[in-house]
Amino acid sequence: MRILHLLVIGFLVFAAAYVYRIKMDSTARTERVLKLHAEIREERDAIATLRSEWAKLDAPLRLQGLAERHLPLKPINARQYDDLKNLPERPPTLVKPGDPDPIGSMIHTIDAAVDAANVTGSVPQPEKKQ
C-alpha cells in the first residue's frame, strides 16, 4: 500500500510541475503578445506622426509660399504662347523605314562573337574529353 501512496504522491508532484510549466509558458506567451501589441501601437503612432508631418509639408499654401520665396516664377498670361507655325522643324529620322534596326544588329553581332566555351553558371558546362 505504501508503494501505491508513493506512486500517487510522485504522480501528483509531476502533475503539479507540469501544470506549473504550462502556466509559465502561457504567461510568457501572454507577455510576448502584450509586448507585440505595444510595438504595433508604437508603430501606428509613428505612422500617424509621419502622415501628419507629410500633410503639413505637402500643404498647398506652404508650397506656394516656398515657390514664391525661392523660385523666380512669373504668372503666365495669354500672350505667352506662340503659334504652331513657329515651332522648329522635326529632326531628321536616323533610321529609314525598312532599314534593319541598328541596335538589334549590334546585339546579333555580339551574340555571334561570343565563344561557346564561355558558359555562365546558369548553364551546365559541357564535359571535357580527355
Q: Residue 61 and residue 84: Cα distance in Å, rounded?
A: 35
Could you tell me which residue, 129 or 60, shows the higher pLDDT? 60
Q: Identify the pLDDT of residue 123.
A: 57
Cell representation of residue 95 = 533610321
| Backbone CA torsion sign across 28, 30, 33, 38 | negative
So what's the pLDDT on residue 52?
95
Task: Supply the pLDDT for residue 61.
Answer: 93
- How far is 68 from 66, CA to CA, in rounded Å? 5
| CA distances from residue 26 to 21, 29, 40, 101 in whole angstroms, order as listed | 9, 5, 21, 69
User: For residue 17, what are the CA distances in angstroms to 2, 20, 23, 30?
Assistant: 22, 5, 10, 20
What's the confidence (pLDDT) of residue 36? Answer: 97
- pTM for this predicted structure: 0.44
Residue 26 has pLDDT above 60, yes or no: yes
| Segment among 12-16, 62-66, 70-74 with least mean pLDDT | 70-74
pLDDT band at 18 (very low <50, low <70, confident <90, very high): very high
